[in-house]
Chain A
């Protein structure tokens, strides 16, 4: 079943120049990008900086509106959904967990919010008190953290643990689609495998559809079924991950592949 379809997405960012900062041309971040996602699939979006992958992630997450093109969720256009309705379906994990977790809020508060939102969206009674605490503790255990972690603040955790909290937060909102924007790039090498395994496990457990944005082809190979290679806003190549990486057709993909040390191929 097709979950999400994107057709001809375009997005430009104006470049301001001159005394009055008028738009003097623009940067084409996305240029006619199309793809479709089946429910339960994991798709990788690969590219370097300027390829448009971050812009695409932001559009899919609902933070940006495309200039042109269509986004369709289970047959309905994006405009059909309110901010909240989209948030109930699509959640994002950001690259740097130190920046994506509000350092002033406790883990308890950080996880309570999506849980309460989800209850609102589903029309259920909003969990409070001990019931809320229990749900938070379950969420923490599910991502491999101790239940007592809820009492602490983000800065008390290591990078990998913070990312686990970020994953728990995203899942607590009950999304169908998980966007992971460079989920392990900011983490130490020795714990990347832990997080990659966690993402794979959770994806299976919750039957999540996943879009993984990464510049690292080894990570993409690990977690995705299909991959789309972006270059300067356009799709350069698309196909099953194993196939594309084994026999890349586009020079962009080939260049990315060559950049991987032989040791990691």
Chain B
């Protein structure tokens, strides 16, 4: 199956510094698939989300290499009108804070209709109401007439989702869609995302810093660290039997209800400062299994033998 979205060797740097925020990242998303992207601060996951639709200002950041192919066409070289047609249409995006994603001085209905105007041929109240219904908002006419500040956080995020699906997306990018919400609401929104994905047949890129959230919602999982993908594979396998020392250390350190209150095996050190990366593997300072090759040579993301999983670690790929 050909990939819907293919990121090839993408590298990006922020001009202030300069800081290499994304380093040689290659990922694929297939139609209808859900790919989770996990990472902490400095991992580059949010930067990656933004660059997929070229939402970073050219004076702030620039792509230094690589391509982003959507249905075969490179997003990075698309002319403006085609790019605009893509944004909010075939590629939809939902952000972390629904309050700042919505225009406070326009009603919800007006904002959804704007999407329809641009991507679906014209303003259409019944269709807008239908989308509000699809995101499981009760009393769509009331929500339609409301302003963002009159809604709760969960409701606002549903409105953002409605706006995203109104464009008929083939791919939905959700960057920390639930982080700003209450835990019980988080679950509802994630369930909604699952349902929408199935009903509309969309692919999804779900980005979160809380790796646990991705566990039940994604088909495959990519773990990012210091701007690189360090592990990639089917979610259940990555979480059940992590291969990269970072993933392993991270998962072991998480408190779990079943663990009781014994001391947690914590990962030492802190997430890397992208301005001062160590030589070789960026995880090396914190890695319990680092050896001399790890200092000399940054590991590349390579497939594990006889597996659809990949990991960027010298330990796993032997000496070659």
Contacts and interface: CB of A to CB of B under 8 A. Distances in A.
The answer to whether A and B belong to the same complex is yes
B257 A193 contact: no
A219 B255 contact: yes
A125 interface: no
A255 B186 CA distance: 12
A193 to B, nearest CB: 4
A169 interface: no
A200 interface: yes
A205 B239 CA distance: 35
A200 B249 CA distance: 20
A49 B258 CA distance: 25
A89 B273 CA distance: 38
B258 to A, nearest CB: 6
Contacts of A217: 257
Interface range, B side: 35 or more
Contact of B183 (A48, A158, A160, A196): A48
Contacts of B270: 158-161, 188, 190-191
B154 to A, nearest CB: 11
Interface stretch (A1-9, A66-74, A77-85, A257-265): A257-265
A262 B216 CA distance: 8
Contacts of A189: 40, 209-211, 250, 253-254
B4 interface: no
A117 to B, nearest CB: 30
Contacts of B216: 261-263
Given A161-B270, A222-B264, A259 B186 contact: yes
A191 B261 contact: no
Interface range, A side: 35 or more
Contact of A215 (B41, B182, B256, B264): B182
Nearest to A160: B270
Interface in B160-192: 182-184, 186-187
A191 B183 CA distance: 21
B213 interface: yes
Interface string A180-201: 0000000011111110110010
A218 B259 CA distance: 9
A56 to B, nearest CB: 17
Of residues A190, A255, A265, which shows the largest number of chain B Cβ atoms within 10 Å of its Cβ?
A190
A17 to B, nearest CB: 14
Contacts of A188: 40-41, 209, 270-271
Interface of B: 40-41, 182-184, 186-187, 209-213, 215-216, 239, 246, 249-250, 253-261, 263-268, 270-271, 273
A238 interface: no
Of residues B209, B216, B258, B270, which shows the largest number of chain A Cβ atoms within 10 Å of its Cβ?
B270
Given A223-B261, A264-B254, A259 B183 contact: yes
Interface in A217-265: 217-219, 221-224, 241-242, 245, 255-265
A258 B255 CA distance: 16
Nearest to A161: B270
A196 B264 contact: yes
Nearest to B252: A193
Given A49-B182, A263-B215, A194 B266 contact: yes
Nearest to B215: A263
A80 to B, nearest CB: 34
Nearest to B236: A263
A192 B253 contact: yes
Given A48-B184, A188-B209, A265-B257, 14 more contacts: A188-B41, A189-B210, A189-B250, A190-B253, A191-B266, A191-B271, A193-B264, A194-B267, A200-B263, A215-B182, A217-B257, A256-B184, A260-B212, A262-B216
B261 A193 contact: no
Contacts of B182: 48-49, 215
Contacts of B40: 188-190
Contacts of A258: 184, 187
Contacts of A255: 184
B213 A261 contact: yes
Contact of A221 (B186, B187, B261, B266): B261
Nearest to B262: A222
A228 to B, nearest CB: 17
Nearest to B250: A190
A262 B215 contact: yes
Contacts of B265: 193
- By Cβ-Cβ distance, the 7 closest A-B pairs, closest first, are A193-B266, A193-B253, A263-B215, A222-B255, A193-B264, A188-B40, A259-B183
